Amino acid sequence: MIIINGLGVSEGIAMGKLSLRNINRPNISKMYIEDIDAEIERYFAAKNQAYKKLDEMYESALKHCGEREAELFEVHKMMIEDDDYQESILSLIKSEHHNAEYAVKATSGKFFDMFLNMDDDYMKSRAEDVRAISRMLVDSLIGGDIDGMKDIEPGSIVFAEDISPGEISKFKQRGAAGLIASAGSKNSHASILARVMGIPTIVGIGDGIKEEFCGKHVILDGSSGEIYIEPDEKTHKNFIIKIETTKNQNMQLQKYKGKESITSGGKKIDVYANMNNPSELSEILMSDAEGIGLFRTEFLYLGRDSYPSEEEQFQIYKNLGMNMNGKKVIVRTLDIGSDKQEKYMNFPKEENPALGYRGIRVCLNNPEIFKTQLRAIYRASEYGNFSIMFPMIISVDEIREVKKLVLDVKQELSEKGIKFNENVPLGVMIETPAAAILSSDLADEVQFFSIGTNDLTQYTLALDRQNSMVGNKFNSNSEAVIRFIEMIVKNAHAKNIPVGICGEMASDKDITEQLLNLGIDELSVSPKSVLAIRKNVISSNAK
C-alpha cells in the first residue's frame, strides 16, 4: 500500500480504479503549412466548434450548479475571442506557416506563463483558463479525444496533471468517482465546481502519481487529502465502515428536520445557513435552516464587468425574502476588496490587501455604491424578514457614519413614497480585534453582533487565511480567539443584544457545546451542517 498526501478540496470518500487522464494526449508537432488560407479556415472552424461546446458547458453548469459557476464559461468564451490571443495564433499561422494546433499550443504556453507571473491571485488563476480553452481548440482541430475522457470508466478515480473547470462537469458526466490533480488550490474555479458537484477531489499532489499506478485500486479521502494506492485489506475495510457510518449518520440526522433548536438547558439557539449565491437557496430551504445568518452579497458583484443596478439587486433580495417566507435573512453589505474584486472596480494594486482597501472601507469611500445596495435592501424589506450587518468595522465612528448613510437612504425612500420596513435590525460583524475590543461601545449602536471568526482569527493570530504555508496554524479554536469571543458575548449581553457566529468555526461539529457555553445565541453554518449542528444544540446543556 502506498499513501500519498495532497490537499483535500472537496470532501467525501471515493474508491475505484485509477485512470491516468493525460497519458492519452498526443504530441503536437510543428509543421510547415503551404496553404495558409486553408489552415486559417481550418482554425476558425475549430474555434466555432469550441465556442459551441462552451455554450453547452454553460447550459450544463447552469443546470447542475447555478448562475455564478456557469458564468465561468462565459469568461472562457470571452477569452477564446480575446484579440491578443487570436492575434498571436493567427500570426504564427500567417507569418511562420505553423500548423494551427501548434500555433494554439505555442500561444497557450505564452499566455499561461504571462498569467502565472502576474502578482494578482485572480489573474494568476486565469492561467488555468487559458490552458483549458487552448486544449478545447486543439481538441476541435484534431477531432480526437485530446482530453483523454473516452477511456474513463464510470466509477474510476481520475488523475490529471491539472483539471480545468470545464472538465469537472465532463468528469461528472462520465461517472468519475473522484479526482486527483498534480496542481491546484482550494479556491480555484475547478475546486469550487468539484465541491458544488460533490466529487471528492484532492489537488496539489505534485508528481506523486506514477504511470504504473494506472488501473490499480485506489481510495481517496477528500477530507484528509489522503490517497491510498492498493490499500491493504484493513484500510479498505476501515473506509467501507467510514462510508457506511457517514451514510447512517446522514440518515439519522433527517429526524432533526422540523425540530426546534433548543438546548436541554432550555436555551433557544438560531441555527441559520450561510449563503454565497442566490442559486444556493434551494439547498438552504432543503437544509431546514431557520434563516440565513450571512448572505455574502459581494458575490452579486463578482464574475461580471459592471456594478449591479439597484433594480437588479432589489429583485434578488425581494425574491429571497419571499422564498424564505418570514424566516430571517441577514444581509451582509458588500465586502469587496482583498481577494474579492473585479477589474471594473479599478482597485489599486496593494502590497497587503488583507489589511487594505476592503469591506466597509470601500463602501464609506464610495457612498453611492453603498447607498445603491442599501436602497435595494430597504425596498426589499417590504417582502421579507431582513436584517443588515456591516463587515470589517474597526471603530464606533465608522458605524455611526454607516448609520447616517442608512438614515439618508430611508429619508430618500420616504420622500419618494416608497414603502419599506422602518425597523430593519442593524448589526456589526465582529471580525477585527479592534471591533472585539470596542464591542461594549459598538453594542450601544446596533441591535446584534455576528462574529466573523474567519477574519477574527486571521487578524488576531496574524495568519493570512489565504496562505497555504500557514494553513496548519490557522485555528479559530485557539485560546486568543476564544477569549475574544468570551469578551464579545459578555459585552453584547450586558447591553441586551444577541451574538451569532457566521465564520467557518460555527460549522465545526466538535465545538458546538463549547460555543454555546460561551453564550453564543446563533450559529450560521454551511447548509450541509445545519442538521448536525441542530442535533448538537439539542443535546447541549447550555442555558
Give the interface with ligand PEP as residue ranges (CB under 6 A): 294, 296, 335, 431, 452-455, 502-503
- Which of the ranges 139-147, 242-250, 444-452, 519-527 carries the binding residues for Mg ion, by CB under 5 A? 444-452
Q: Single out the catalytic residue among 189, 214, 217, 363.
A: 189
Shortest Cβ distance from residue 434 to ligand PEP (Å)?
14
Find which of ligand PEP, Mg ion, none residue 39 binds, CB within 5 to 8 Å per kind. none
Q: Is position 502 annotated as part of the catalytic site?
A: yes
Nearest to 183 by CA among 233, 134, 112: 112
Based on CB atoms, which residue is closest to Mg ion, 287 or 458? 458
**CB of 485: closest distance to ligand PEP in angstroms?**
12
- Site stretch for Mg ion (CB under 5 A), options 33-41, 42-50, 189-197, 449-457: 449-457
Q: Which does 128 bind (CB under 5 to 8 A by kind): ligand PEP, Mg ion, none?
A: none
Query: What does DSSP assign to residue 304?
Result: S
The backbone torsions φ and ψ at residue 411, rounded to the nearest 5 degrees and listed phi first, read -65, -45
Torsion angle in degrees (nearest 10) through CA of 158, 160, 164, 166: -30
Return the one option of ligand PEP, Mg ion, none that residue 61 interacts with (CB less than 5 to 8 A, by type): none
**What is the three-class DSSP state of 431?**
coil
Contacts with Mg ion in 122-181 (CB under 5 A)?
none
DSSP H helical segments within 100-202, as ranges? 100-116, 121-142, 165-173, 189-197
Hey, which residues does 180 pair with through a beta bridge? 159, 202
- Nearest residue (CB) to ligand PEP, 46 versus 501: 501
Using rule CB under 5 A, residue 298 touches Mg ion: no
522 touches Mg ion by CB under 5 A: no
189 as an active site residue: the answer is yes
**Which of 243/463 has CB closer to ligand PEP?**
463
Dist CA 201 CA 41 (whole Å): 39
3-state class (DSSP) for residue 420: coil
Minimum CB distance to ligand PEP, residue 294 (Å): 6
- Which of 65, 76, 98, 502 is catalytic? The answer is 502
For residues 276 and 71, what is the distance between their CA atoms, to the nearest angstrom? 15
Q: Report the SS3 class of residue 389.
A: strand
Instruction: Residue 502: name its binding partner from ligand PEP, Mg ion, none (Cβ under 5 to 8 Å by kind).
Output: ligand PEP
Answer for the pair 85, 107: CB distance below 8 angstroms, yes or no. yes
Three cell numbers, residue 139: 481538441
- Residue 452, interface with Mg ion (CB under 5 A)? yes
CB atoms within 10 A of CB 44: 13
Residue given cell 481538441 in the structure block: 139
Can residue 431 be called a binding residue for Mg ion (CB under 5 A)? yes
State in angstroms the smallest separation of the CB of 452 from ligand PEP.
Answer: 3
User: Which residue, 246 or 454, is less far from ligand PEP as judged by CB?
Assistant: 454
Closest CB 336 distance from ligand PEP, rounded Å: 11
Q: Rounded to the nearest whole angstrom, what is the least distance from the CB of residue 285 to ligand PEP in the complex?
A: 21
Answer yes or no whether residue 455 interacts with Mg ion by CB under 5 A.
yes
DSSP letters for 206-275: TT---GGGTT-EEEEETTTTEEEES--HHHHHHHHHHHHHHHHHHHHHGGGTT---B-TTS-B-EEEEEE
Q: Which does 503 bind (CB under 5 to 8 A by kind): Mg ion, ligand PEP, none?
A: ligand PEP
Strand partners, 226: 5, 221
Strand partners, 268: 262
- Nearer to ligand PEP by C-beta: 277 or 453? 453
Which range binds Mg ion by CB under 5 A, 163-171, 251-259, 317-325, 428-436? 428-436
521 binds, among Mg ion, ligand PEP, none (CB under 5 to 8 A by kind): none
Whole-number minimum distance, CB 452 to Mg ion, in Å?
4
- Enumerate residues 6+ apart whose C-beta is below 8 A from 543: 263, 265, 266, 267
Q: Which is nearer to ligand PEP, 296 or 318 (CB)?
A: 296
Q: Extract the C-alpha cell encoding 146.
A: 485530446
Within 10 Å of residue 424's Cβ, how many Cβ atoms? 19
In DSSP terms, 430 is beta-bridged to 451
Catalog residues that contact Mg ion under the rule CB under 5 A.
431, 452, 455
- Catalytic positions, please? 189, 502
